[in-house]
A and B are shown apart, each in its own frame.
Chain A
Amino acid sequence: MMLAWAEIRRSSGRFLSIIGALSLITFLVLTLSALSDGLFFGSTGAVKAPSAQAYVFSEDAEGSFIRSQIPAADVEKYRQLDGIDRAGPVGVLLTSGKASSGELDVAVFGVDPESASAPQTVTKGRLPTPAENGVAAIDDSAKGVEIGSTVTVGDVPVEIVGLTSGSSYQLQPTLWTTVDTWTAMQESVRPETRGLPAYVSAIALDLSAGTTVESLRSIAGTVVLTEDQAALAIPGVEQQRSTLNSIIYTTLLVAALVVALFFALIVLEKRDLFAALKALGTSTGRLGRSVIIQAIFASVIGVILGAIASRLLGLVIPSEVPTLYLTNSLIQISVFTIVASVLGAVFSLRRIAKIDPATALGGNL
C-alpha cells in the first residue's frame, strides 16, 4: 500500500494522464447514456405515463398504435375478463395542430380519463372528465402552450385544461383528450375514416395482482403485450436503444484497453525496480495489489470527474436535445467503468509474476 500511494502522490503526472483519459471516457459514456435514456423516455412516455401494465393491439399491428385497430366493443369484453381490474380505450393520431404560438406536432391520445389509459403524471390543472369534449391536457414538452391556450387539430379546437409531464410519444408532445374528441379529430384530419364502425387503436389494461400477460386469455383478433414490450414496439425505439448501447459497451471496452495499456507500460518501465523489490523479498502478490489499488484509485477519480462533467453538460444542453440523467444509469456505468479498468489492470499481473528477481543482480556489466 505504501508503494501505491507514494507513487500516486509523488509521480502524480502520469496518474493525471490516466485519470484524464478515464474521465473523458466516463463523460462520453454517461452523456451517451443520458441521450439514450432521454430518447427512450421521450419516445415511450405516453406508454409509461398511464397506470396500465399491459396493452392490447390488433393481431396484425406488431404492437404499433398507429397500425392497430380494435372494435370499440372489445374494451368492454376485456373489462369482463378474469384478471383485469380496469380496461381503458386508447385512440392515437399522429398529426399537427395549430396553437396561438404556431404550428405544433402533436400525438393525440383519446382515452378514458378515469381508466387504465389515463396519464398519471398531471403536474398542473386537470384531465378532461369522461364526457367532457372540447378540452384536453397536453404534455409540457409542447412549446408555447399553456393552460387556457387553444390547440386546433383539423377543424376541432380544444381548450388546454391541464399539463402532464414525461408523457411524450415518439418525441412529440401528447394531447390527452376523450375518445369522442379524438374520433372527431381523426375524421377531420383523415376523412377516409368517416363512417367506419366505432374503433380504437389499443386498449390499456390494469391487471389484478397475480395476473401476468402470459396467463391472460386474449380476445380473438387481438394480442396483449406488456408495457415494456409495447414501449419497445414503438418504431425506432429498439433500434435507437441497441445502437446507443453498443456504442456504450464498445467505449467501456476501450476503457479497459486504455487501462490495460497504461499499466502494461508502467510495469514495463518499472521492470528493473520490480525485479529489485522482488529480490529484496517483496512478493508478486504485494506488487500486484499495489497496481490494482492504483487502478481502482485512478478509475474512481476518473469516473467522479467524468460524471460531474457530464452532469454539467446536461445543465447547458438545449432542451430540444432529449437527455435524461438517471441515478440507476449513473451507478451502473460508474461500476462498469471501474470494473473494466480493474480488469484491464489485471492483465499486467501476469507480467509482474513473470519478472525474475534474479535479474536484479548482474546488471549490464
Chain B
Amino acid sequence: MASNTTTADTASTGSASTEPILRVNDVTKTYGEGHTAVTAVANASLAVKEGEFVSLLGPSGSGKTTLISMIGGLLTSTSGTIELGDVDVSTLSKKDLTAFRAQRVGFVFQASNLVPFLTAKENLVYVATLRKDYDRKQASKRADELLGELGLSERIGNLPEQLSGGERQRVAIGRALMNDPDLVLVDEPTASLDTELGRQVVQLLAREVKDRGKTGIMVTHDLRMVEYTDQVFEILDGKLSAEGTGKEKAKSH
C-alpha cells in the first residue's frame, strides 16, 4: 500500500532549522468497528520544521479536521505516532493531553470563540492561567505586548462584542501565541471574514509563526489563502498528499 509520506527533505522551503519539530508518522483514524467502520484519515504522514507555516487543504468531510484534531491532542489516533519535539502525543493520557494543549499548542478557531465576557486582554491572560507556572504580572505584561504587536493597544479593555471581526481574529491569534506554544493550529481563520480581511489575517499569522519560530498548520478550503504558506498538503477522502509550496499551488490554480 502506498503511503503518502512527505518528509521535510522533499518539501522543505529552506527554513533555517533542519530537523522537523512536528512528525506525523503513518497516522490512521477509524471510527466504529467491523464492517461499519469508517476510516477518516488513512496512513497520513507529514513533517513540519520550526518557523514553517503549512496549509492543509480539503473539502468538507475530507478528514482535515480529524487530522488536525489528532495533531492538536483533541483526538487520539487509531494507529501511528504524532511527535511534537520530544513528546509523543499519541501516548498521553486525557489529563496530560489537557495540559499538553494548554502549554504546547495554540489554537485559532473558525469563529474566534473568544470568551464573550472577558476583555481582549483578559482573553489572553486567561490561557496563561491554565499554565502550571502562571505568573500574574508576567502574563499581564505579555498580553499587553502581544496585543500591541497585533495593533490592538487601543482595544485591550474592549469586550469581543465591541470588536470588529478582524480585530476578534487578531485577539484570537494573540491568545494562540500567549503561552509561547511550539505549534499553532489554525482552523479556517477566514471563514467569518471577507476576502481582504481574511488575507490580512492569514498574512499576519504567517508572519507571527515565522518571526517567533513556531510551527503553524492552517486548515482551509480557500485556495487564495495558501500562497502565504510554505507547504501545502491536500487531503481527500482521508488520504494526504503533498502539493508543493504555497506559491506553486496558488499559481497552478
Whether B130 and A281, one on each chain, are in contact in the complex, defined by CB atoms closer than 8 angstroms, is yes
Whether A2 and B126, one on each chain, are in contact in the complex, defined by CB atoms closer than 8 angstroms, is yes
Whether A363 and B115, one on each chain, are in contact in the complex, defined by CB atoms closer than 8 angstroms, is no
With A283-B98, A357-B74, A360-B74 as contacts: A276 and B221 at CB distance below 8 Å: no
**Which of A3-11, A108-116, A181-189, A224-232 forms part of the interface with chain B?**
A3-11
Q: Tell me which of A9, A10, A279, A363 contacts B101 (CB under 8 A).
A: A279
Residues in B neighbouring A363, C-beta threshold 8 A: 109-111, 187-188, 191
Residues in A neighbouring B159, C-beta threshold 8 A: 10
Interface residues of A in 325-365 (CB under 8 A from B): 357-358, 360-365
**CB proximity of B122 to chain A, nearest CB, Å:** 7
Q: How far is the CA of A277 from the CA of B127 in the complex (A)?
A: 9
Whether A7 and B221, one on each chain, are in contact in the complex, defined by CB atoms closer than 8 angstroms, is no
Whether B126 and A365, one on each chain, are in contact in the complex, defined by CB atoms closer than 8 angstroms, is no
B151 at the interface (CB under 8 A from A): no
Residues in B neighbouring A6, C-beta threshold 8 A: 115, 117-118, 122
Question: Interface size on A (CB < 8 Å)?
Answer: 25
**CB proximity of A279 to chain B, nearest CB, Å:** 6
Binary flags per residue of B137-168, CB closer than 8 Å to A gives 1, else 0: 00000000000000000000001000000000
Whether B116 and A3, one on each chain, are in contact in the complex, defined by CB atoms closer than 8 angstroms, is no
**CB proximity of A8 to chain B, nearest CB, Å:** 9
Q: How far is the CA of A11 from the CA of B125 in the complex (A)?
A: 20
A316 at the interface (CB under 8 A from B): no
**CB proximity of B244 to chain A, nearest CB, Å:** 24
B75 at the interface (CB under 8 A from A): yes
Whether B221 and A365, one on each chain, are in contact in the complex, defined by CB atoms closer than 8 angstroms, is yes
Residues in B neighbouring A365, C-beta threshold 8 A: 60, 110, 188, 191, 221
Residues in B neighbouring A273, C-beta threshold 8 A: 113, 115-116
Number of CB contacts from chain A to chain B under 8 A: 88
With A10-B117, A10-B159 as contacts: A281 and B127 at CB distance below 8 Å: yes
Residues in A neighbouring B95, C-beta threshold 8 A: 283
Q: How far is the CA of A3 from the CA of B187 in the complex (A)?
A: 24
A272 at the interface (CB under 8 A from B): yes
Interface residues of A in 279-311 (CB under 8 A from B): 279-283
Binary flags per residue of B53-68, CB closer than 8 Å to A gives 1, else 0: 0000000100001001
A278 at the interface (CB under 8 A from B): yes
Binary flags per residue of B215-245, CB closer than 8 Å to A gives 1, else 0: 0000101000000000000000000000000
**CB proximity of B120 to chain A, nearest CB, Å:** 13
Whether B115 and A279, one on each chain, are in contact in the complex, defined by CB atoms closer than 8 angstroms, is no
**CB proximity of A134 to chain B, nearest CB, Å:** 77
Residues in A neighbouring B105, C-beta threshold 8 A: 281
Q: Helix, strand, loop or mixed for chain A's interface?
A: helix
**CB proximity of A153 to chain B, nearest CB, Å:** 71
Q: How far is the CA of A7 from the CA of B117 in the complex (A)?
A: 6
B69 at the interface (CB under 8 A from A): yes
Q: Which residue of A lies closest to B181 (CB)?
A: A281
Residues in B neighbouring A7, C-beta threshold 8 A: 117
Residues in A neighbouring B126, C-beta threshold 8 A: 2-3
**CB proximity of A319 to chain B, nearest CB, Å:** 49
Residues in A neighbouring B99, C-beta threshold 8 A: 281
With A11-B117, A358-B75, A363-B110 as contacts: A281 and B65 at CB distance below 8 Å: no
Whether A276 and B113, one on each chain, are in contact in the complex, defined by CB atoms closer than 8 angstroms, is yes
Q: How far is the CA of A357 from the CA of B185 in the complex (A)?
A: 14
Q: How far is the CA of A272 from the CA of B101 in the complex (A)?
A: 17
Residues in A neighbouring B68, C-beta threshold 8 A: 361
Whether A280 and B117, one on each chain, are in contact in the complex, defined by CB atoms closer than 8 angstroms, is no
Q: How far is the CA of A45 from the CA of B102 in the complex (A)?
A: 65
Residues in B neighbouring A272, C-beta threshold 8 A: 113
Q: Tell me which of A10, A276, A281 contacts B98 (CB under 8 A).
A: A281
Q: How far is the CA of A86 from the CA of B95 in the complex (A)?
A: 71
Q: How far is the CA of A147 from the CA of B98 in the complex (A)?
A: 78
B103 at the interface (CB under 8 A from A): yes
Residues in B neighbouring A364, C-beta threshold 8 A: 110
Chain A CB count within 10 A is highest, among B105, B117, B122, B130, for: B117
Chain A CB count within 10 A is highest, among B60, B107, B122, for: B107
B129 at the interface (CB under 8 A from A): yes
6 contacts between A and B (CB under 8 A): A3-B126, A11-B117, A278-B98, A279-B101, A281-B98, A361-B65
Partner-B contacts on A (CB < 8 A): 2-3, 6-7, 9-11, 272-273, 276-283, 357-358, 360-365
The 10 closest A-B pairs by CB, nearest first: A281-B102, A362-B65, A276-B113, A10-B117, A281-B101, A363-B110, A358-B74, A7-B117, A281-B130, A358-B69
Partner-A contacts on B (CB < 8 A): 60, 65, 68-69, 72, 74-75, 95, 98-103, 105, 107, 109-111, 113, 115-118, 122, 125-127, 129-130, 159, 175, 185, 187-188, 191, 219, 221
Given A281-B100, A361-B219, 14 extra CB contacts under 8 A: A3-B118, A6-B117, A273-B115, A278-B98, A279-B109, A280-B107, A280-B175, A281-B101, A360-B74, A360-B107, A361-B185, A362-B69, A363-B109, A365-B221
